[in-house]
Structure 1
């Protein structure tokens, strides 16, 4: 299952993502991974979650991010939740490639039985309409 946290800058999305990640760690019987751009969540997310900085691995763009997420799922079968902060900063293509990416990520989430949450800094009305068919919104 794919979930989107959407809203404009300053609307509390990162705070909500941190809360969801910490709750997932507390309730998960497996591993929780938080993917971020830069190391800004180090002190907010519990140390029991795996924090991964995309800058460290030079991840840029939807294809690279999808491959990275696929590798996380393939490399560790007990990942239950993946949270991706700053999706549009990691993927400079912006809203244009978002719908196709979310569809692929939804297929990955279903195949690997992993919940994936993306933080999207955009108003809900700015998102492609087709996204609604493949994900939930928080």
Structure 2
């Protein structure tokens, strides 16, 4: 399943995403991963959440991003949830390919039973129609 937190930059999406991740890690029996563009929020996350700084890796296209996601999942059979902050930046996706990348993530989610919670810096109206029902909060 994909859940989307949308809104323009500076509206508090990251704060909500961190809060949601910290709450979920208390309830799950598996692992939780938080992908971000830097280590800025390291101390705000529970120590039970694995923070991955994508800027440490050579991910510069959305194909490389999807491969990276598949690699993380392949190495952790107990992975239950992935939180993706600054989605447009970490996924290297431009506006016209948002729907395509979300579709691929949805396929990965279904196949491997991993939930994705995504923070994306666009208005809810700009989210592709097939993913509007996945928006859990729009700021």
Normalised TM-score (structure 1): 0.92
Aligned 8 A contact 1:3 1:136 in 2 = yes
Any residues of structure 2 matched to 1:23-102 within 5 Å, and which? 23-102=23-102
Cα deviation code 1:36-86 (max 9, x no counterpart):
001111011111100000010122232111111111111111000000111
- In structure 1, the residue matched to 2:129 is 129
Indicate the RMSD between aligned Cα atoms, in angstroms: 1.3
Report the Cα offset of residue 116 of structure 1. Answer: 0.6
Aligned 8 A contact 1:88 1:94 in 2 = yes
Aligned 8 A contact 1:61 1:90 in 2 = no
Normalised TM-score (structure 2): 0.92
Q: How many residue pairs were aligned?
A: 136
**Stretches of 4+ aligned residues off by more than 4 angstroms:** none
- Report the Cα distance in structure 1 between the residues aligned to 2:115 and 2:93, rounded to whole angstroms: 24
- Report the Cα distance in structure 2 between the residues aligned to 1:17 and 1:61, rounded to whole angstroms: 24
- Report the Cα distance in structure 1 between the residues aligned to 2:9 and 2:107, rounded to whole angstroms: 28
Aligned 8 A contact 2:6 2:124 in 1 = yes
Q: Any gaps of 5 or more consecutive residues in structure 1? A: none
